[in-house]
Chain A
Amino acid sequence: MIPEFPLQVRNLTKSFGALLAVDRLTLDIARGEVFGFLGPNGAGKTTSINMMVGLLDPTDGDVLIEGRSIRAGRKQAQRFIGVCPQENILWEKLTCLEQLEFVGVNYGLPARQASARGAELLDALGLSSKAQELAGRLSGGMKRRLNLALALVHDPQIMFLDEPETGLDPQSRVLVREMIRQLARRKTVVLTTHNMDEAERLADRVAIIDHGRLLVTGTPEALKRGQGDGTLLEIEIDAPQEQDAQRIFSAVLGCLQPLFPGALLANSRLTLRGPDLSNRLPEILQRVQSVGARVGSVHMRPVTLEDVFLALTGRGLRE
């Protein structure tokens, strides 16, 4: 029987000494789904993915690939998995076709079949004229596409794509995006990215993790709806005297946070989420002005996935 979820993550945990990098991560990723796996730097994304693809043994928990534990049969599981890493991992002294054939045979394909499959992929990714070119001589965008082809050569059922659009020119980006959409018709795609537009455009569902813990999962629309009524109010504020700025900004937050617990104020920009923002605008402005702040521009726009991400993970810079 074919399992409904080709990729199941069960209480996946990884510790490096005292550091808990991934904390009981549980996910079910469906067949034909593009799943965005999001998180700030150091959130535990790479560690989680490395465990899912068999590069790293979990401290606890398990990953089921097509219903089988990766712990019980890593070699078998790896045949179902294709990984396109963020950095281009290529053999500079092999031609494009040679490295596709090399990787294909390593996955168990007969040499001739691996070569034919490689040629097919090069064609699909607009690299057929470069089949006999050494990888070291390709342009950055071509290397990126070859990097993707190497993940696909054994026709895996589950694809892990790490920042697939990074380093691509607009033409290549469209090509790769189209390829991911085509893949998603037949395969499960796990997409790791910092680019929220990319995730929003491509992912059916996203998960956001931070400090090794899963914060939310859901469709981008559902996550955005979770932030008020799906709109966001941004107000540029200022203090009459520069030396009063910090005091006034604190006062603005103090008077609005009881109404809008998620209120943020950074770089003179006040961001509010909540229901019925347009009707409550006069009251908001009156409160802001009542503590001595001057109101600049007022802007209302739909909530984006980036807003959700920042709301959940904060604005603090990460290592």
Chain B
Amino acid sequence: MRLLNMVRKCYREQKRDLWVLGLSLMFAPLFVFIYYLMTGGTGSTSYAVLVINADRPAARADGTRLAAGEEIVQALRDLSYKSGNPLLRVSLADDQAAAERQVRDRYAAVLLVIPKEFSETLAAYQGGDTRATTQVTLVGDLTNPAYTIAAVMVMSAADAYINAETQAPRPVTLNEIALGASSLRSEFENYIPGLLVMAVVLMVFQAAMTPARDIESGTLRRIRLTPVSSLEYLGGLSIWMTLVAVLSILITFATAAGLGFRSQGPLGAAILIDIIAALSVIAIGLIVACLSKTVSQAFVIANFPLGFLMFLTGAAFPLPRPTLFNLFGHAVSYADFLPPTHAVIALNKIFTLGAGIKDVAFEIAALVLLTLVYFGVAVWLFQRTQMQR
């Protein structure tokens, strides 16, 4: 009864702060939308490539015309994701200094320079002169992450074209096997597991600041005068915040789906995992509240776990996870003590590899266990620090 009374109190207070509720609900979908825009509004990034095509077409031995430079440019333009979206945005340039400036300013990821004797060299090779050589140049800022991807694509396309033209023998061929449906996933879809977890990680602020408001205003003292326990108080608050999180998660999923996201595995399992992850983050936020006397203090302290939860769990980007010990055949690292780590892994498995709920049983179990532990710590600490008599 008291638990529900707390939930109702939170609801009543929240409905008078609709803009705060709105921001809480819209934050994650907004992030999803921003990432969608970052991937070019197509779900996959098209990398800008500049080409200086100095090549002069040449005649083959059989008299036909070879314009290899133009054909490579076309081959680059034809590169596409499985969805049909282009991999590269190819623009032609004349002035190398101006083109390099664009690469330096990151308006383009890479500059490809095709020499004037390119067609002539290939034609000579086709004619049997295997000593004929020339040089294709790539110019780029090696610290730009987009350069690495774009350069590999350009080199692969150029290599494939040259190989097809020259028919030169290759002792080794590379065979790529895509796990699950990973080859079908767009870049935008790859971001979604991390984004969904990041969305719930941000709940740490609300979870820390909600009890801190009662502490700062003195209303917690009024609650302490009644027979309400720490468990009832924090439980009620957690139920309300979880309901908000569930709503936010559903809106986020709907936004992602509306922008082209498709899950390979059961969506219900993914939603369940995200909800448990939200609960675990709320528990961590409540621990922050135990150490706070004011809302602003809670906000400042909450930034600390936020950093861990975002950057050490793989939600923002993958990090190396050194093994501390093995448990039931699973390598356990420091990141495994942070609940969102398991959520990121499980969501990746479901969304990309089409895993079912049984395939992520370990992650779910770890998530539930850690949530219970963190919530238990929060209740114990709250009793000691805020309800102490």
Q: Which A residues lie at the B interface, using CB under 8 A?
A: 53-57, 74-76, 78-79, 81, 83, 85, 87, 89-94, 98, 102-103, 105-108, 111, 134, 150
Contacts and interface: CB of A to CB of B under 8 A. Distances in A.
A150 B222 contact: yes
Given A55-B389, A106-B5, A134 B16 contact: yes
Contacts of B219: 89-91
Given A87-B218, A102-B9, A106-B5, A93 B16 contact: yes
Chief secondary structure at chain B's binding surface: helix
A143 B227 CA distance: 24
B17 A54 contact: no
B221 interface: yes
Contacts of A78: 225-227
Nearest to A76: B227
A94 B13 contact: yes
Give the one of B9, B13, B228 with max A CB within 10 A: B9
B12 A94 contact: yes
Given A93-B13, A93-B17, A57 B389 contact: yes
B61 interface: no
B137 interface: no
B223 interface: yes
A56 B12 CA distance: 30
B144 interface: no
Nearest to B14: A93
Nearest to B5: A105
A94 B225 CA distance: 19
B1 interface: yes
B227 A98 contact: no
B13 A91 contact: yes
Interface in B320-356: none
A90 B5 CA distance: 16
Contacts of B2: 105-106
A106 B9 CA distance: 11
Interface of B: 1-2, 5, 8-9, 12-13, 16-17, 217-219, 221-228, 389
B375 to A, nearest CB: 21
Given A89-B217, A108-B227, 8 more contacts: A54-B389, A85-B218, A87-B218, A89-B218, A89-B219, A102-B5, A102-B9, A103-B226
A106 B217 contact: no
B97 to A, nearest CB: 63
A55 B221 contact: yes
Contacts of B218: 85, 87, 89
Contacts of B389: 54-57, 74
A55 B13 contact: no
Contacts of B226: 78, 103, 106-107
23 contacts: A53-B225, A55-B221, A55-B224, A55-B389, A56-B389, A57-B389, A76-B227, A78-B226, A83-B225, A85-B222, A87-B218, A89-B217, A93-B12, A93-B13, A94-B13, A102-B8, A103-B222, A105-B5, A106-B223, A106-B226, A106-B228, A107-B226, A134-B16
Contacts, number: 64
Nearest to A77: B227
A306 to B, nearest CB: 30
A70 B81 CA distance: 72
A105 B13 CA distance: 17
B388 to A, nearest CB: 8
Nearest to A134: B16
Contacts of A105: 1-2, 5
Give the one of B223, B226, B228 with max A CB within 10 A: B226
B227 A107 contact: yes
Nearest to A54: B389
A90 B217 CA distance: 8
A119 B192 CA distance: 51
A85 B5 contact: no
A55 B1 CA distance: 22
Nearest to B1: A105
Give the one of B2, B228, B389 with max A CB within 10 A: B389
Contacts of B1: 105, 108
A54 B224 CA distance: 9
Nearest to B15: A93
B381 to A, nearest CB: 18
Give the one of A85, A93, A134 with max B CB within 10 A: A93
A151 to B, nearest CB: 8
A98 B222 CA distance: 15
Nearest to A102: B9
A63 to B, nearest CB: 12
Contacts of A150: 222
A72 to B, nearest CB: 14
A78 B228 CA distance: 10
A156 B219 CA distance: 19
A87 B16 CA distance: 24
Contacts of A55: 221, 224-225, 389
B9 A79 contact: no
A210 B226 CA distance: 29
Contact of A89 (B5, B16, B221): B221
B209 to A, nearest CB: 14
Which 9 residue pairs spanning A and B have beta carbons closest together?
A75-B227, A106-B226, A93-B13, A105-B5, A57-B389, A93-B16, A89-B222, A89-B218, A106-B228
A55 B5 CA distance: 21
A257 to B, nearest CB: 46
A90 B219 CA distance: 6
Contacts of B228: 106
Given A56-B389, A102-B5, A105-B1, A92 B217 contact: yes
Contacts of A102: 5, 8-9
A104 B223 CA distance: 11
A85 B221 contact: yes
Given A89-B217, A93-B17, A106-B5, A79 B225 contact: no
A246 B221 CA distance: 50
Given A89-B217, A94-B13, A79 B222 contact: no
A242 B12 CA distance: 68
Nearest to B13: A93
A78 B13 CA distance: 26
Contacts of B17: 93
Give the one of A98, A106, A150 with max B CB within 10 A: A106
